[in-house]
Amino acid sequence: DSGVTQTPKHLITATGQRVTLRCSPRSGDLSVYWYQQSLDQGLQFLIQYYNGEERAKGNILERFSAQQFPDLHSELNLSSLELGDSALYFCASSETGLISGSDNSPLHFGNGTRLTVT
């Protein structure tokens, strides 16, 4: 058990809809990362938050947004869903998020939310 909790485990919705994925990081971890895993794109970094603030952005679509709350849990919002958004969405957390040459704290991943858009 990584200590990272993601809900829900599965989500089935229709095109055009909006969903929210939730992540609770490991106790004490300040950084939260969101990744998308699909068959054709592999594992893609979406966005990172550190202690409530956006820290790094990857291949995240404008239709997607995220935030990290004061209790450090995070939500990923996906809107105007398309068939191609069907994927496994992973949240990960780490102790630190500082841009530092000595920052090698590993990421701890949740079990993911499987999103199916029909």
Partner 1 sequence: GNSVTQMEGPVTLSEEAFLTINCTYTATGYPSLFWYVQYPGEGLQLLLKATKADDKGSNKGFEATYRKETTSFHLEKGSVQVSDSAVYFCALREAAGNKLTFGGGTRVLVKP
User: Closest Cα to residue 115, out of 20, 5, 1?
Assistant: 20
- Which position has the token pair 């935030």? 67
Shortest gap between Cβ of 110 and partner 1 (angstroms)? Answer: 5
Q: How many CA atoms lie within 13 A of 107 on its CB side?
A: 14
d(CA 46, CA 28): 22
Which of 72, 97, 115, 117 contacts partner 1 by CB under 8 A?
97
According to the binding rule CB under 8 A, does residue 10 interact with partner 1?
no
Please identify, using beta-carbon distances, which residue of 67 and 79 lies nearer to partner 1: 67
- Taking CB under 8 A as the criterion, the residue among 64, 87, 90, 115 binding partner 1 is 90
Kindly state whether residue 25 participates in binding partner 1, applying the rule CB under 8 A: no
